[in-house]
Amino acid sequence: MNLADRLKSDPFLKRLSELLGEEEVYVVGGYPRDLFLGKRSPDIDIVVLEDIKKFIEPIKKLGPVEFRLSEFMTAKFAFPDGRILDVVRARRERYPRPAVLPEVEPAESIEEDLWRRDFSINAMAISLRKSNFGELIDPASGLEDLRRGTIRVLKEGSFRDDPTRAYRAIRYSLRFDFSYDPLTEREFDLARKYAGLLTFPRIENELRRGSTEERRAEFFHEVEARGLFPWEHRKASIEELRRLDKLLGERKEGDWVLFFALYLPESAGAREFVQNLPLERSEKKVLMDFLELREEKIETDPGEFHLKQGKRAEEALLVLAACRPGLRDFLLDYLRRKRNASPRIRPAELMEMGFSGREIGEILKKIEVLRLRGEIHTEEEERAFIRSLLNRESGS
């Protein structure tokens, strides 16, 4: 099947091309790359050579859509079937300083836009224009690199301009099992040198994306090994990372913070480091909880442990289980028991029995601990326990 037929087998692109007629429009980046790899990505990046406003109405004819005109020269369309269409005007970029966002202006040709991209395999475009539908524009020989299995930057100094590309390179090399060409390999030295100039949210974004990859343990390991954690940190072993991956199961973006926890420095400044990170409160809490746990002597009685645990995030326990394999079974067993440890008896019933608010809190806590220890299993046993308390009181 030629490219045009392959594209047409995607009804969405076929219809888009029909609606746009003779406009110069290209599908670029991940979609062509994945198409050659025999996969169909749900996200489609479109490049146009004129003001994008001109394309908004025709694209809306594709169906019900949520639409957002964002930033400079870009528009996002989200369709109910999960497809995301990003429309961007062709641009050229200039990096005034290493690791800062580029200054951009419209480009005159698709080739110019392709040359500003990260890797040759992501610098291919396929025309959607009616008269040359399916024509491949591949100025950097991306298709050849795709066939050879090579990640190759488009120019020297690429990772100095934008060190986030180094994290991206690692992600693609692991995802596709590709190797780096010699220039790209050398570029990692520049990335190491300049990564410290990136803002934290830009690095976080890369770690987030890496944390949804199948080989995320290897991703974090390589990021660290290549010097791309530009702050004081401990080294996490590949075994710890793999254990965490396994403990978490399903891959989620939010997991990045748990992998990140494995790298928190072991020095006294770790808490301050976490406090100063520009993170959500819940993310900081997991990290702080983990730091506390890491320093604590762990009681291997689930009841005692529970009392110390308080309101600590459960995820922090999973990170601890990943770096202390000896505690893994205990921690997993605790988490399992905890799920079933909430007292069944209602506080209202305890109130009717004449207990004060404070006493009720204490009783419920005790029941929780007994449930965790496996000494209470049913609501009836809870009542028997409460009766024993009353008897003890009246007997004393």
Q: What are phi and psi of 320, to 5 degrees?
A: -60, -40
Residues 6+ apart with CB under 8 A from 34: 40, 41
**What are 25's strand-pairing partners?**
48
In contact, 206 and 248? CB cutoff 8 Å: no
Q: Closest approach of Cβ 10 to ligand ATP, in Å?
A: 16
Query: Would you say 122 or 309 has its CB closer to ligand ATP?
Result: 122
**Near ligand ATP in 110-149, by CB under 6 A:** 117-118, 122-123
Question: Which region, judged by CB under 6 A, interacts with ligand ATP, from 17-25, 54-62, 162-170, 316-324?
Answer: 162-170
- Which of these ranges, 159-167, 178-186, 200-208, 253-261, lies near ligand ATP under the rule CB under 6 A? 159-167
Which of 265, 260, 262 shows the shortest CA–CA distance to 237? 262
In the list 3, 10, 12, 30, the residue contacting ligand ATP (rule: CB under 6 A) is 30
Q: Which is nearer to ligand ATP, 165 or 371 (CB)?
A: 165
Please tell me whether residue 211 binds ligand ATP under the rule CB under 6 A.
no
CA distance 245 to 48: 40
Q: How far is the CB of 132 from ligand ATP (least distance, A)?
A: 21
Amino acid at 242: R
Instruction: Considering only the stretches 56-64, 158-166, 255-263, 326-334, report the one whose residues sit in contact with ligand ATP under the rule CB under 6 A.
Output: 158-166
CA-CA-CA-CA torsion sign (33, 38, 43, 45): positive
Name the minimum Å distance from CB 164 to ligand ATP.
5
- Local structure of residue 194 (DSSP, 8 states): H
CB of 48 to ligand ATP, least distance (A): 15
Which residues neighbour 290 within 8 Å (Cβ) at sequence distance 6 or greater?
261, 264, 316, 319, 320
Q: Which of 16, 27, 29, 274 binds ligand ATP (CB under 6 A)?
A: 29
Our finding on whether 152 is near ligand ATP (CB under 6 A) is: no
**CA–CA gap between residue 335 and residue 160 (Å, rounded):** 45
Among 89, 165, 221, 306, binds ligand ATP (CB under 6 A): 165
CB of 384 to ligand ATP, least distance (A): 58
Q: 3-state DSSP call for residue 133?
A: coil
Position 245, amino acid = D
Question: In terms of CB distance, is 17 or 164 closer to ligand ATP?
Answer: 164
* Cα radius of gyration (the chain): 28
CB 106 within 8 A of CB 7: no
* Token reading at 380: 């009836």
Contact set for ligand ATP, span 39-98 (CB under 6 A): 43, 45
Give the binding-site size for ligand ATP (rule: CB under 6 A).
11
Query: What's the rounded Cα separation, in Å, for the pair 354 and 360?
Result: 10
- Residue 30 or 347 with smaller CB distance to ligand ATP: 30
Task: Please tell me the total number of residues recorded for the chain in this structure.
Answer: 396
Which CA distances in Å does 333 have to 53, 321, 329, 339? 57, 11, 6, 10
Binding mask 261-300 for ligand ATP (x = CB under 6 A): ----------------------------------------
Which residue, 123 or 372, has its beta carbon nearer to ligand ATP? 123
Residues 228, 183, 222: CA angle, nearest 5 degrees? 30
Identify which of residues 213 and 379 has a Cβ nearer to ligand ATP in the complex: 213
Q: Which residue ranges make up the site for ligand ATP (CB under 6 A)?
A: 29-30, 43, 45, 117-118, 122-123, 162, 164-165
